[in-house]
Amino acid sequence: MKSNTLRRLGVLVALGAVNGPAVAGIALRVEAWPINKPLDAYVLVTDASGPVVGLTAEDFTVTLDGVALNEFGFKLPPSQDPTQHLSVVVVANGTYGYEDRWESLIDELAIGDRVSVVKYWNDFERIRLGGLEILPFTRLDGASGSDAVTDFLEASAFQGFGGSATYQYDGIVQALEQFRSPPTPLPRGPKAILTLGGGGSRQTSLSEVVALANEASIPIFNAGSSEWRPYWNVATRTRALAEKTGGIEFELQGTEPVRRAIARMARWLRHGYRVVIPRGIITDCTPRKLQISVRGNPVTTRVVRCDTTPEPFDLPDVENAPVNAQVVSEAAVMSGTEAAASVRVFFGEYSVGCGSTFTDAPGWIQPGKRICVRHKTAPEEGVESATILVVGGESSTFVSTTQ
């Protein structure tokens, strides 16, 4: 990504108890970008009966690196403010038959909220057709509007157009277009994209999707399960889509909790208190410790208002590698970042600087630095071995094939 690309940071933390008759949970997510706008921190406070209502600005205290902020904005959630309504775009894979589970989203929303749907198709039977199906923003009214959204999600018929198959990132790009060109002006209130899985795209990279979402100030909420996809897809796509746009990633254990995850997405948007931190408070790339306390019970996260998603990078494959031997990839140079990006590796080791020291522990890499990976080749001829390197959410796979 270009250095001035706008990006946000999403964090979910759960801690503490709110003073009162029942134990409560406090969760925090942060929309830190674009940097020319205030930083928005959303706080979800719950007790045994559900979201806590009736809190005021006096119940909240904010500190940055241990220093109290005496001036910050405070907004009630839409569930307590009749002038606000949600506007969400559902990005759904029409292939796998989970569309009916989005009904839990409709159940959580209110009359006056807007919902658009973008369905993408990537199964082999429809690969010749490709394309997307789109329901423009529709106002929920408790009757026809809600039925239109539900019927569209549940419909299995596909009226596509010629072209290549489409994937999740293609759906997200089209979802952002719905926000840019709605049929009627959208109401004041939270806006978000809700999706499942980590399907990627043939032509669009993670960094491009993140950049487009943050330029439009739209967080992405995602849910995924390691039972559905290869592990590295969960690591690079599901989590990064949410974390890098100010949304939340929900890790699923099988398919049944999908309805609950979708409902939790909606609850975050409907019941999150908004704490607004003035834009001039954080002006550089230094990681900052943000703490918000609700009635004396704190929740803390790390905020960076810099670009840490690199441009896509490549680790070329190695053919005719010796059997049962250590093989090292060519170096990749990290470009497009403004601050240190996180590093993770699967099925191998990496070296920042491409020296003699390799590790498989999570780490960090500064802009412009080189990075290599290595693994041990297979003990037999003609066998592939693979190492997946994940930097700031972008990934590349290094493959060696024994001779």
| Predicted pLDDT at 160 | 43
Q: Check pLDDT > 80 for residue 58.
A: yes
pLDDT for the residue 239: 73
pLDDT score, position 379:
93
Inter-CA distances, 323 with 320, 397, 402, Å: 9, 19, 6
Could you report the per-residue pLDDT of 205-214, keeping only the tens digit for each?
777 888 888 8
**4-8, 11-15, 56-60, 228-232 — most confident range:** 56-60
- Give the residue-averaged pLDDT of 380-395: 88
Q: What per-residue confidence (pLDDT) applies to 9? A: 43
3-state SS of the chain?
Answer: CCCCCCCCCCCCEEECCCCCCCCCEEEEEEECCCCCCCEEEEEEEEECCEECCCCCHHHEEEEECCEECCCCEEECCHHHCCCCCCEEEEEEECCCCCHHHHHHHHHHCCCCCEEEEEEECCCHHHCCCCCEEEEEEEECCCCHHHHHHHHHHHCCCCCCCCCCCCCHHHHHHHHHHHHHCCCCCCCCCCEEEEEECCCCCCCCCHHHHHHHHHHCCCCEEEEEECCCCCHHHHHHHHHHHHHCCCCCEEEECCCCCHHHHHHHHHHHHHHCEEEEECCCCCCCCCCEEEEEEECCEEEEEEECCCCCCCCCCCCCCEEEECCCCEEECCCEECCCCCCCEEEEEECCEEEECCCCCCECCCEEECCCCEEEEEEECCCCCCCEEEEEEEECCEEEEEEEEEC
What is the per-residue pLDDT across 217-271, written as a single tens digit (0 to 9) for each?
Answer: 899 998 876 554 444 444 445 677 888 889 988 877 655 577 888 888 999 999 9
Q: What is the pLDDT at residue 17?
A: 42
**Helix axis angle, 168-180 relative to 206-215, nearest 10°?**
20
Over the stretch 86-105, which tens digit does the pLDDT of each residue have? 999 999 877 655 556 787 88
Give backbone dihedrals phi and psi of 17, rounded to 5 degrees, phi first.
Answer: -140, 140
Condensed to tens digits (0 to 9), the pLDDT of residues 134-152 reads 899 999 987 666 788 888 8
Residue 320 CB neighbours (<10 A) = 9
6 pLDDT higher than 70: no
Q: How far apart are CA 93 and CA 232, in angstroms?
A: 19
Q: Note the pLDDT of residue 200.
A: 63
> Over the stretch 16-47, which tens digit does the pLDDT of each residue have?
444 443 436 899 999 887 777 889 999 999 98
Q: What percent of the chain has pLDDT over 90?
A: 44
Domains, the chain, ranges and CATH?
13-77+273-303 (2.60.40), 87-246 (3.40.50.410), 318-402 (2.60.40)
Indicate if the pLDDT at residue 154 is higher than 80. Answer: no
pLDDT digits (tens, 9 = 90+) for 283-329: 777 788 999 999 988 999 988 787 777 888 999 999 999 999 999 99
Find tokens 């005496």 and name the residue: 70
List strands edge to edge, sheet with 341-346. Answer: 318-321, 394-402, 384-391, 341-346, 363-365
Question: Residue 101 and residue 93: Cα distance in Å, rounded?
Answer: 12
pLDDT of residue 124: 47
Bridge partners (DSSP) of residue 119 are: 92, 133
pLDDT at residue 11, rounded to an integer: 45
pTM: 0.74
Q: Could you report the per-residue pLDDT of 191-204, keeping only the tens digit for each?
A: 999 988 766 665 67
